[in-house]
Amino acid sequence: MKVYISADLEGVAGVTHAEHTMRDGKEHERARLLMTEEVNAAVAGAIEAGATEIVVNDSHGTMRNIIPEKLHRDAYLISGTPKPLSMMEGIDETFDAAMFIGYHAACGTRNAVLDHTYAGRVVSRAVINGMELGETGINAAVAGYFGVPLVMVSGDTAVARQARELVPGIVTVAVKEAIGRYAARSLHPEKAQALIKEAAKKALTGLGSISCFEVHPPVCLELHVNNTGMADIAELIPGVERIGPRAIRFVADDYLTVFRAMRAAITLAGETLQ
């Protein structure tokens, strides 16, 4: 059994602020260790469920957060950026299941720790085939494109709720409950890790009962950005249509093409912040 893990940082127990999540944040060193330990818990649960190969993709910011020598020795680590599939780099049709650790809710979610979608300073809404999706949905659909089901998500209560709305039967772990965007009531990290291990084991043991989250063609992305200058740049991409002062649309027949266009649009739009 091959298991794919995408790991983010905002949804890790104890993390509430940019001081944890930014590379130069005062608490970043501590936060990346907590992130590594939560990933290790998921890896341990996967091994108990019979996983024979586990690939972990570091999916936060610089994508160089997980501490290699502290990572479970039986997992492969993909780190660094840019990567063609970004938060889903390394996924393909040979995997049996995907799990998301340390995830957070979509931008615009109330009472969600550090809610955002791919680039907090750029994206205000991402709508795909009429569904408003955050990173959980956008990335689950990449796994779904390859026929891989998303079976487990950990993060705060808000992302856990959004994952359950997206994927019936998915196993979720809420390691904290937001009190606002920058505050939360969190489980102790060790307790969170124990729950993640059990959830990973349970999700992979029940494999087959959870279906893939797939976005069927034609795939239409509507991307809403934070200002008109960002849309001015994003609409330069061939095939992109301007549908509003701060919104663009892109349509293609396969999800991966739309995912790549979305990443290109966000990256270009972000250039206006430089």
Measured from the CB atom, the residue of 8 and 38 that comes closer to Zn ion is: 8
Shortest distance in whole angstroms from residue 31 CB to Zn ion:
13
Measured from the CB atom, the residue of 147 and 182 that comes closer to Zn ion is: 182
What stretches of the chain adopt beta strand conformation (E)?
2-7, 53-58, 75-78, 97-103, 123-128, 131-132, 150-156, 171-180, 183-186, 219-225, 241-244, 247-252
Tell me how crowded residue 22 is: count the other CB atoms within 10 A of its CB. Answer: 15
Measured from the CB atom, the residue of 8 and 37 that comes closer to Zn ion is: 8
Using CB under 5 A as the binding criterion, the count of chain residues that bind Zn ion stands at: 2
- Widest distance between CA atoms in the chain: 51
Shortest distance in whole angstroms from residue 60 CB to Zn ion:
6
- DSSP letter at 272 equals G
SS3 assignment, position 227 = coil
Say if residue 218 is preceded by a cis peptide, omega within 30 of 0: yes
Binder among 4, 5, 6, 8 for Zn ion (CB under 5 A): 8
DSSP H or E segment with residue 30: helix 28-48
Shortest distance in whole angstroms from residue 162 CB to Zn ion:
13
Pick the stretch among 135-143, 193-201, 203-211, 233-241 that binds Zn ion (CB under 5 A).
135-143
What is the x/- site pattern for Zn ion, positions 163-202, by CB under 5 A? ----------------------------------------
Instruction: Kindly state whether residue 96 participates in binding Zn ion, applying the rule CB under 5 A.
Output: no
CB 29 within 8 A of CB 66: no
Cβ-proximal residue to Zn ion, closest one: 8
Shortest distance in whole angstroms from residue 135 CB to Zn ion:
5
Measured from the CB atom, the residue of 8 and 58 that comes closer to Zn ion is: 8
Shortest distance in whole angstroms from residue 258 CB to Zn ion:
19
- Nearest in space to 187 (alpha carbons), one of 153, 156, 152: 156
Shortest distance in whole angstroms from residue 208 CB to Zn ion:
29
Q: What is the DSSP string of 36-96?
A: HHHHHHHHHHHHHTT-SEEEEEE-STTS--S-GGGS-TTEEEE--S--TTGGGTT--TT-S
Shortest distance in whole angstroms from residue 8 CB to Zn ion:
4
SS3 assignment, position 100 = strand
CA distances from 2 to 59, 88, 144, 171 (A): 19, 15, 15, 18
Measured from the CB atom, the residue of 103 and 201 that comes closer to Zn ion is: 103
Measured from the CB atom, the residue of 160 and 204 that comes closer to Zn ion is: 160
Using CB under 5 A, list all residues that contact Zn ion: 8, 135
